[in-house]
Every structure is written in C-alpha cells, then in structure tokens.
Amino acid sequence: MRALLLAAGFGSRLRPLTDHTPKCLIPIHGQPLLSLWFDMLLPAGFDRLLVNTHYLADSVHAFVAASPWHGRVDLVHEEALLGTGGTVLRNRNFFQDAPFLVVHADNLTRFDVAAFVSVHRHRPPGAEITMMTFETDRPETCGIVETDRDGLVVGFHEKSANPPGNRANAAVYIFEPSIIDFLLSFGKDVIDLSTEVLPRYLGRIGTFHNDDYHRDIGTPESLAAAHREFKLRPPAVA
C-alpha cells in the first residue's frame, strides 16, 4: 500500500513559528512531524510515501533529502494549491489502482497501522472509505461524526456549538481506488475532500477508532498540550 502525506499548508495559526518553518516540520520534543509519520508508516508495510509541497517547499525537500527514509519518499510540488481531493486526483497514478492512505501530515498522531489496514480490509459491505476517528477534548472545534451500529458514518457536524458527542474525524483515511473515478467526475482540478467528497459518501464510510493519540497542533495552545502529553518512542531503523 502507498500513502499520500498532505503537507502543503501555511500553518497560519501558528505564526510566528511557521514564518520560517512549515507546519509539517514543527518539532515535537525535537522530532519534526513528518519524521514521526515516516517512522510510523514505512516500517508498517507502506512501500512508498508521496509528500505534496507548496509553502516553504525548499525546507521540506531538504528535510526529506536528509531523512534515512529518503529512498522511499517522493515529493510533488503544487505551484497553486489543488485542495485535498485535487492532490489525490493529480497523483492518481502513484496509487497503482490499489487502496491507499491519505493523511493530513501536519497533525500529531500515533496509531496501530496494521490494525487500521485490517479494519479497512474487513470493512462493512459497500464501504469505500475507512476514516480514523478520535475522542477530542474540544468537540466544538472539530468535525464530529455520527455512526450507525456497523460503525458507518451517517452524519457530520463540522465545528458545531453543540455537537452530539466527541468522536471526531482525524483526517486520516484509507480510500478504495473507486474514489478516483468519483473525483474525475467533478471535471475540475481543485477539490476538497471534507466538503465536496465525504458528504457524498455517507453510509459508505467505515471507521477505525484511534485510542492511542491524535491532536491537531494548529494553535499555540494545542501545540503546548502536545508537548505535555506526547511521549516519543524509539524510531525504527530505515
């Protein structure tokens, strides 16, 4: 299986930290976010990763070139941002007509990769996506999901003042190749997964719950919480 790591964002809420460092390279206890993703995914059966770049792209390219995993990481630059779905569509040949992982690589997370893949392989009939969920301490700031008895997503509540629960979308997905055909049907280059694609798949999105760790470190307060909570583990050998 292959994975796309979305890493092109500006990280504007973290300024001035992101004035000279892209959000995907913000360090947690000295280790950049992208490094944590590489160390988690590549030893767990993913043969190649693709990282998209835009903001401060030279920094990301230099980081990947110096990484012990550089031989298994590809980079693709976007002069103009394509949106999350547009990036998937533009790079469809990379996925080799097989299921693939898409992650927002500027989030801090840790989960059982093999278990996530297994849940997707044994997903309910008709599901074409498996979405990672997590329990948030601030449900009003997240996309809260409603699921049925089979774990299929049947409702979204995006940054609602009074959401029905605290189980949130972690923005980590496994997609079936059929998603590419749906993206092609838009007939355009710029597509957003969360607003234009996922709502059309209600009842066809399975879930995998991350009960280890997940946090969007997009604000100074959340980044400070991550430093308090997250414990690094020894990295695997490339």
Q: Is residue 234 part of a domain?
A: no
pLDDT digits (tens, 9 = 90+) for 180-194: 999 999 999 999 999
Q: Is the dihedral of CA 84, 153, 170, 160 positive or negative?
A: positive
Q: Is residue 235 part of a domain?
A: no
pLDDT band at 18 (very low <50, low <70, confident <90, very high): confident
* Cβ-count burial 27-63 (b if 16+ within 10 Å, e if not): ebeeebbbbbbbbbbbeeebeebbbbbbbbbebbeeb
Tell me what pLDDT residue 102 has. 98
Q: Is residue 49 part of a domain?
A: yes
pLDDT-wise least confident of 7-11, 75-79, 160-164: 160-164
pLDDT band at 220 (very low <50, low <70, confident <90, very high): confident
Q: What's the whole-number average pLDDT of the chain? A: 91
Q: Residue 47: which domain range?
A: 2-229
pLDDT band at 170 (very low <50, low <70, confident <90, very high): very high
Interval 5-27 mean pLDDT: 86
Tell me what pLDDT residue 126 has. 93
Instruction: Please give the tally of structural domains in the chain.
Output: 1
pLDDT band at 233 (very low <50, low <70, confident <90, very high): low
Q: Is residue 237 part of a domain?
A: no
Q: Is residue 183 part of a domain?
A: yes
Can you spell out the DSSP letters for 31-90?
A: EEHHHHHHHHHGGGT--EEEEEE-TTHHHHHHHHHHSTTGGGEEEEE-SS--HHHHHHHH
Q: Is residue 96 part of a domain?
A: yes
pLDDT band at 226 (very low <50, low <70, confident <90, very high): confident
